[in-house]
């Protein structure tokens, strides 16, 4: 293969905006990631291994519920609004109705179950209040705050989207630092009040920042309910699969293992942000390319795959190299943290590969196949992790995680290429039919 230097040089000005956009997107998510790790470190050191283990378990439950909140309605912001900005007021009203109604239902269900399962305080009144605040914060308020980023992305206002991500992360870090380091908060009950207050403040500020884009028109868009549910269910099943290990380890292992594994999982999950930084930029473009068939976007998707591989390997290597320094940040009592991080670092590569395929399917509107891949993989994965953790904690947990990510990767690309071939064949038949 011969490379034309002049031709490559001529394309550099065209590539520069894309490179700068990715740098800004990944930079904002990286900063947010670091802020989240600092928040986690402050809470881990202030709570101690036992209290922090309880915090990890509570977070695991709400991490599943937050994906149910809104029934996936936020996806229409980066798909339909990206194609037609005039539909934004209707889509915003659709989102607010579904988010608030489903959020209230989830909070009520949580209040019926969690007070009898988790004891955050020996005082029943304090225990109930703390759980209520945590549920409202981690489900309804988090979903509303995250919607801001999707709205800005749908309007191609990526700098504003980046600022919303960084601002939210910094607000949580500031709340943790103020609560734990200044006012000496050491319990989850007291932290629940601080966390709730910080999220309310952020939600108000972000709502004000969106006022110029238009007021919501409150109505349900019926055709988007099914698509939203199909879009959301993979995240729900993935959240179940990603948190069943924490819940099982909470039963089978000691608090130190649960705390160390929870920190390691947070670090690995945060590393996916480098992949998300790219996907959030290319998703609207893939949606536009695939209007007349997903086969029109397959060439772009393969190029994105190469970038995803580079990002995945780079992230995995970075985690492996910085792991020995993590006990300095989180505390020496988390003795298993380094080994957990190093073992799990390789999963980032497999996630990078399958995320490209499922995002291409989602951008083209193939939410059914996308949901089938991720829901099946994560449902089977949840059972596999539960069994592996039960049989050999934590070694069985770690092996199960790798098997799941590899399986999803293979299935996603098989389905994507199959759908693209069918789309190309259908387009060719249309062109020859008089």
Predicted confidence (pLDDT) per residue in 16-31, tens digit: 555 555 555 556 666 7
pLDDT band at 12, cuts 50/70/90?
very low
Q: Report yes or no on 28 lying in a domain.
A: no
Cis bond upstream, residue 394 (ω within 30)? yes
| 384 contacts 434 by C-beta, under 8 angstroms | no
Query: Does one domain contain both 276 and 148?
Result: no
So what's the pLDDT on residue 433? 59
Q: Are 248 and 265 in contact (CB under 8 A)?
A: no
**Residues 213 and 236 both lie in one domain:** no
Close Cβ partners of 200 (under 8 Å, ≥ 6 residues apart): 141
User: For residues 10 and 18, what is the distance between their CA atoms, to the nearest angstrom?
Assistant: 15
Q: Please state the length of the chain.
A: 434
For residue 116, the model assigns a pLDDT of 78
pLDDT at residue 117 in the model: 73
The answer to whether residues 248 and 371 belong to one domain is yes
The secondary structure of the chain in percent helix, strand, coil, rounded to multiples of 5, reads 90, 0, 10
* Section 287-311 average pLDDT: 88
275, 352: one domain: yes
- 167, 193, 220 — which closes off a domain? 220
Q: What is the mean pLDDT of residues 160-164?
A: 86
- Residue 336, domain member (yes or no): yes
Is residue 254 in some structural domain? yes
Give this prediction's pTM: 0.66
Residue 30: its pLDDT value, please? 66
Q: Check if the beta carbon of residue 60 is closer than 8 Å to that of residue 114.
A: no
Q: How far apart are CA 234 and CA 252, in angstroms?
A: 27
Q: Is residue 111 part of a domain?
A: yes
- Same-domain pairing of 76 and 205: yes
Own/partner contacts of 308-311, CB < 8 Å, gap of 24 or more, are: 308/275, 308/278, 308/352, 308/353, 308/355, 308/356, 309/349, 309/352, 309/353, 311/274, 311/275, 311/278, 311/352
In this structure, are 192 and 74 located in the same domain?
A: yes
Domain end position, chosen among 195, 220, 245: 220
Residue 164 sits in which domain range? 45-220
- As a whole number, mean pLDDT of residues 189-199 equals 94
In a domain, 27, yes or no: no
Say yes or no: 74 and 95 in one domain. Answer: yes
Inform me whether the pLDDT recorded for 253 exceeds 90. no
- For residue 432, what pLDDT is reported? 63
Q: Per mean pLDDT, which range of 21-30, 122-131, 197-206, 281-290 is the poorest? A: 21-30
Mind listing the pLDDT tens digit for each residue in 94-125? 999 999 999 999 999 989 988 877 777 788 88
In a domain, 418, yes or no: yes
Residue 285 and residue 351 in one domain: yes
Same domain flag for 205 and 147: yes
Position 309 pLDDT exceeds 60: yes
pLDDT at 7 exceeding the cut of 70: no
- Give the per-residue pLDDT at 139: 93
Instruction: Looking at the structure, tell me whether residues 125 and 232 fall in a common domain.
Output: no
410: left (phi over 0), alpha (psi -120 to 50) or beta: alpha
Residue 164, in any domain of the structure: yes
* pLDDT attached to residue 9: 47
Q: Is residue 434 part of a domain?
A: no
Over residues 194-202, the mean pLDDT reads 96
Tally of domains within the chain: 2
Name, in order, each residue with C-beta under 8 angstroms of 30's C-beta and a sequence gap of 6 or more. Answer: 273, 274, 277
Clarify whether residues 174 and 200 are in a common domain.
yes
Contact 279, 356 (CB under 8 A): yes
Residues 304 and 389 in one domain: yes
Structural domain ending residue among the three candidates 191, 220, 249: 220
Contact 376, 412 (CB under 8 A): no
Residue 321 token pair: 């190299």
What token pair was written down for 315?
């992230």
């Amino acid at each position: 293969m011969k490379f034309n230097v002049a031709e490559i040089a001529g394309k550099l000005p065209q590539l520069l905006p894309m490179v700068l956009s990715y740098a800004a997107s990944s930079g904002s998510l990286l900063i947010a990631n670091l802020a989240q790790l600092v928040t986690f470190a402050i809470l881990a050191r202030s709570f101690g291994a036992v209290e922090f283990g309880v915090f990890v378990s509570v977070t695991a439950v709400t991490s599943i519920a937050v994906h149910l909140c809104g029934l996936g309605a936020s996806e229409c912001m980066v798909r339909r609004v990206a194609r037609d900005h005039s539909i934004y007021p209707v889509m915003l009203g659709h989102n607010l109705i579904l988010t608030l109604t489903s959020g209230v239902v989830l909070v009520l269900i949580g209040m019926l179950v969690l007070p009898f399962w988790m004891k955050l305080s020996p005082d029943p009144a304090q225990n109930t209040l703390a759980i209520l605040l945590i549920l409202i914060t981690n489900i309804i308020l988090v979903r509303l705050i995250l919607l801001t980023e999707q709205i800005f992305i749908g309007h191609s206002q990526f700098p504003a989207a980046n600022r919303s991500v960084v601002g939210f992360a910094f607000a949580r870090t500031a709340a943790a630092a103020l609560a734990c380091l200044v006012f000496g908060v050491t319990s989850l009950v007291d932290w629940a009040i601080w966390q709730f207050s910080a999220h309310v403040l952020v939600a108000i500020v972000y709502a004000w920042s969106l006022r110029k884009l238009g007021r919501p028109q409150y109505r349900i868009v019926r055709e988007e309910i099914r698509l939203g549910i199909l879009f959301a269910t993979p995240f729900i099943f993935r959240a179940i699969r990603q948190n069943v290990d924490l819940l099982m380890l909470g039963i089978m292992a000691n608090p130190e293992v649960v705390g160390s594994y929870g920190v390691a999982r947070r670090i690995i999950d945060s590393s996916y942000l480098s992949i998300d930084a790219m996907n959030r930029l290319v998703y609207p473009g893939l949606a536009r390319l695939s209007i007349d068939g997903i086969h029109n976007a397959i060439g772009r998707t393969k190029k994105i795959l190469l970038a995803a591989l580079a990002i995945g390997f780079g992230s995995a290597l970075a985690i492996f190299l910085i792991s020995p320094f993590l006990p300095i940040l989180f505390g020496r009592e988390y003795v298993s943290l380094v080994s957990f991080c190093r073992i799990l670092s390789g999963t980032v590569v497999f996630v990078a590969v399958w995320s490209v395929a499922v995002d291409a399917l989602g951008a083209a509107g193939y939410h059914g196949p996308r949901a089938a891949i991720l829901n099946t993989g994560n449902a089977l994965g949840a059972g596999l992790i539960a069994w592996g953790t039960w049989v050999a904690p934590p070694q069985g947990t770690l092996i199960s995680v790798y098997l799941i990510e590899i399986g999803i990767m293979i299935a996603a690309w098989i389905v994507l290429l199959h759908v693209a071939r069918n789309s190309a064949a259908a387009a060719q038949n249309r062109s020859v039919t008089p």
